[in-house]
C-alpha cells in the first residue's frame, strides 16, 4: 500500500502503531483481492468443474449451482473467510483511530465565518429502510449513523478507510474515479458550460471536488443521506480550499427547484440500494436538470454470462453486505431512464480511464441521459 494519502487538516492522523495496523489491513486486503480470491478460478477449472461434469454429465448452468459446488472446496471457504475477516478488521482498526481523535475532528469540521462553501443538515430527514437495515461494506453504523449532534465519525472513517481498503488504489485523495467522471463529461460534452453541478451520494466528497477542479466557474453541490458524511465533507473541502455546498438529503427527493442543475451525477451509490430507489433517483435527476443538462451514473457494464464469472463478480454481494449489487448489475438502466422521463435517443453509455492510476484501475462505465 502507498503510505502517501494526501494530508489535509480534516483527515484523521495516525500514531505509529495505528499506522502499522492500517498497513497490515491494507496488505491483507490486497493479498485477498489480487491473489487469494482470483486463485479460485484455478480451483474451479482444475478440480470443481471436472468433478461437477463427471457427476452430472454437464457443466453448471447457473450461479447458485456454481456457488454451491464451490462451497465444498476448503480453499474457496477459506478465502471467503479471509476476505470477510479483512473487511471487518479494516473498519475496526481505522475506527479505533478515528474514535481516539473524534472530538478534534468534530471541532475542525464546524462551519466558520469566511468559509468558501456551506453546509446544511436535516435532523428530520426520513431514512430509507435499506439504509438503516444494512451496514454496507460491513462498516459499523453504515454511512449515516450519528453518534452525537455534530458527529463526523462515519465521514472520517470512510476517508481514511477507503484509502486503506483500496490500498491507495483510488489516488492520493481517493478522487481518481470522480476525476475520470468529470473529465469524461468535459470530453463528451465540450460545449456544456455548467452553472450548477450536483453530486448525489457524495460521501466525504471524493467524487464532488473533482467537479470544481474541472469546472471552476460552476457552483458545485454535494448531497448525502448521512449527516456525518456532509459535515465531514464540509471540513474536508474547506481544508482543501474548495467551495462546495453540502446538504443532507435523500437523492430521491431533494429540496432543489426544478431545472436547477446542468449536471447531476452519482458515483458508487446506486449499486448499494434497491431498484425502486434507483428509479426514484433517476426521476429526480430528470426533474432537477435544466434543458440540455446531463445526468450520469456509474453502471452499464455488461454482466458476465458465465455462471463462474458471476460468482467471481459477486464477492461483495455475498460477503460484504452489498445485498443489492447483483440486482443493480442486471437491472435495465436504459428502461429506468426512459421511465424517469428521458427520451430513448438521449440516453448514452461511455467509459473513461482513471487519471493518475491509468492502467491500474478498470475504466469507469457510465449510463446517462441528456435532458431534452
Ligand atoms: C459508496 S459511497 C460513495 C461516496 C462517493 N460518491 C464516492 O464514490 O466516494 C455511497 C454514498 O451514498 C450515500 N447514499 C446512499 N443512499 C443515498 C440516498 N438515497 N441519497 C443520498 N445519498 C445516499 C451513502 O450515504 C454513501 O455516502
> Whole-angstrom Cα distance, residue 253 to residue 314?
30
> Whole-angstrom Cα distance, residue 130 to residue 108?
31
Are 258 and 152 found together in one domain? no
- Give the CATH number of the domain where residue 228 resides: 3.40.50.150
Give a yes or no: residue 259 inside a domain. yes
Choosing from 131, 161, 171, 203 the residue with most ligand 1 atoms within 8 A of its CB, the one to mutate for a pocket test is 203
Ligand 1 pocket, residues with Cβ under 6 angstroms: 128, 131, 143-144, 200-203, 206-207, 223-226, 229, 250-252, 267-269, 272-273
The phi, psi pair for 358, rounded to 5°, reads -50, 135
Are 36 and 144 found together in one domain? yes
Nearest-atom number in ligand 1 for the CA of 142 is 25
Are 132 and 273 found together in one domain? no
Nearest-atom number in ligand 1 for the CA of 267 is 6
> Whole-angstrom Cα distance, residue 262 to residue 293?
4
DSSP reduced 3-state for 169: coil
Are 223 and 254 found together in one domain? yes
Which residues face 143 on adjacent strands?
A: none
Give a yes or no: residue 339 inside a domain. yes
Are 245 and 359 found together in one domain? yes
Look at residue 2 in the predicted model and tell me its pLDDT: 53
> Whole-angstrom Cα distance, residue 332 to residue 146?
34
Count of domains in the chain? 2
Are 225 and 290 found together in one domain? yes
Look at residue 300 in the predicted model and tell me its pLDDT: 66
Are 248 and 214 found together in one domain? yes
Are 288 and 149 found together in one domain? no
Give a yes or no: residue 5 inside a domain. no
Q: How far is CA 226 from CA 131, 147, 230, in A?
A: 9, 12, 7
Are 152 and 201 found together in one domain? no
- Of all protein residues, the one whose alpha carbon is nearest to atom 14 of ligand 1 is 201
- CA 95-90-309 angle, to 5 degrees, is 140
Nearest-atom number in ligand 1 for the CA of 177 is 8
Exposed, middle or buried, 241 (CB in 10 Å: 0-12/13-18/19+)? exposed
- Of all protein residues, the one whose alpha carbon is nearest to atom 3 of ligand 1 is 268
Digit-by-digit pLDDT tens for the chain (372 residues) are 455 899 999 999 999 999 999 999 999 999 999 999 999 999 999 999 999 999 999 999 999 999 999 999 999 999 999 999 999 999 999 999 999 999 999 999 999 999 999 999 999 999 999 999 999 999 999 999 999 999 999 999 999 999 999 988 888 999 999 999 999 999 999 999 999 999 999 999 999 999 999 999 999 999 999 999 999 999 999 999 999 999 999 999 999 999 999 999 999 999 999 999 999 999 999 999 999 999 999 986 767 889 999 999 888 888 999 999 988 988 999 999 999 999 999 999 999 998 877 777 778 999 999 999
Choosing from 225, 244, 283, 297 the residue with most ligand 1 atoms within 8 A of its CB, the one to mutate for a pocket test is 225
Distance 369 CA to ligand 1 centre (A): 20
Write out pLDDT tens, residues 55-70.
999 999 999 999 999 9
Identify each DSSP E strand in 204-357 by its residue range: 219-224, 244-248, 261-266, 289-298, 347-352
Look at residue 68 in the predicted model and tell me its pLDDT: 96
Are 260 and 320 found together in one domain? yes
Distance 268 CA to ligand 1 centre (A): 7
Are 272 and 316 found together in one domain? yes
Nearest-atom number in ligand 1 for the CA of 229 is 27
Are 161 and 22 found together in one domain? yes
| Mean pLDDT, the chain, integer | 95
- Of all protein residues, the one whose alpha carbon is nearest to atom 9 of ligand 1 is 206
Query: Which structural domain, as residue segments, surrounds residue 260?
Result: 176-370
Give a yes or no: residue 355 inside a domain. yes
Write out pLDDT tens, residues 286-319.
999 999 999 999 986 767 889 999 999 888 888 9
Nearest-atom number in ligand 1 for the CA of 162 is 9
Amino acid at each position: 500500500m502507498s503510505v502517501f494519502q494526501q494530508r489535509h487538516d480534516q483527515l484523521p492522523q495516525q500514531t505509529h502503531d495505528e499506522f502499522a495496523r492500517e498497513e497490515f489491513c491494507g496488505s491483507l486486503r490486497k493479498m485477498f483481492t489480487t491473489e487469494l480470491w482470483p486463485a479460485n478460478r484455478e480451483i474451479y477449472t482444475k478440480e470443481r468443474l471436472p468433478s461437477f461434469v463427471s457427476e452430472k454429465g454437464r457443466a453448471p448452468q447457473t450461479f447458485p449451482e456454481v456457488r454451491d459446488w464451490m462451497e465444498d472446496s476448503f480453499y474457496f471457504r477459506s478465502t471467503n473467510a479471509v476476505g470477510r475477516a479483512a473487511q471487518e478488521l479494516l473498519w475496526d482498526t481505522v475506527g479505533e483511530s478515528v474514535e481516539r481523535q473524534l472530538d478534534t475532528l468534530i471541532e475542525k469540521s464546524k462551519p466558520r465565518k469566511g468559509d468558501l462553501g456551506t453546509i446544511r443538515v436535516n435532523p428530520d430527514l426520513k431514512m430509507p429502510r435499506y439504509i438503516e437495515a444494512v451496514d454496507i461494506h460491513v462498516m459499523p453504523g453504515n454511512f449515516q449513523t450519528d453518534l452525537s449532534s455534530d458527529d463526523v465519525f462515519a465521514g472520517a472513517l470512510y476517508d481514511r478507510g477507503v484509502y486503506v481498503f483500496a490500498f491507495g488504489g483510488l489516488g492520493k485523495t481517493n478522487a481518481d474515479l470522480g476525476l475520470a467522471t468529470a473529465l469524461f463529461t468535459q470530453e463528451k460534452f465540450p460545449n456544456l458550460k455548467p452553472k450548477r453541478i450536483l453530486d448525489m451520494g457524495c460521501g466525504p466528497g471524493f467524487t464532488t471536488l473533482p467537479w470544481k477542479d474541472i469546472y471552476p466557474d460552476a457552483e458545485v453541490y454535494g448531497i448525502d443521506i448521512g449527516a456525518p458524511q456532509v459535515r465531514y465533507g464540509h471540513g474536508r473541502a474547506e481544508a482543501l480550499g474548495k467551495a462546495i455546498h453540502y446538504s443532507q438529503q435523500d437523492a430521491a427527493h431533494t429540496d432543489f427547484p426544478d431545472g436547477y442543475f446542468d449536471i447531476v451525477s452519482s458515483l458508487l451509490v446506486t449499486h448499494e440500494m434497491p431498484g425502486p430507489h434507483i428509479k426514484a433517483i433517476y426521476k429526480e435527476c430528470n426533474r432537477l436538470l435544466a434543458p440540455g443538462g446531463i445526468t450520469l451514473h456509474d453502471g452499464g457494464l455488461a454482466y458476465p454470462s458465465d455462471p463462474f464469472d458471476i460468482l467471481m463478480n459477486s464477492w461483495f454481494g455475498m460477503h460484504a453486505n452489498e445485498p443489492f449489487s447483483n440486482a443493480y448489475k442486471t437491472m435495465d438502466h436504459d428502461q429506468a431512464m426512459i421511465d424517469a422521463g428521458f427520451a430513448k435517443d438521449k440516453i448514452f453509455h461511455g467509459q473513461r480511464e482513471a487519471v493518475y492510476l491509468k492502467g491500474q484501475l478498470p475504466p469507469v462505465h457510465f449510463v446517462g441521459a441528456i435532458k431534452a
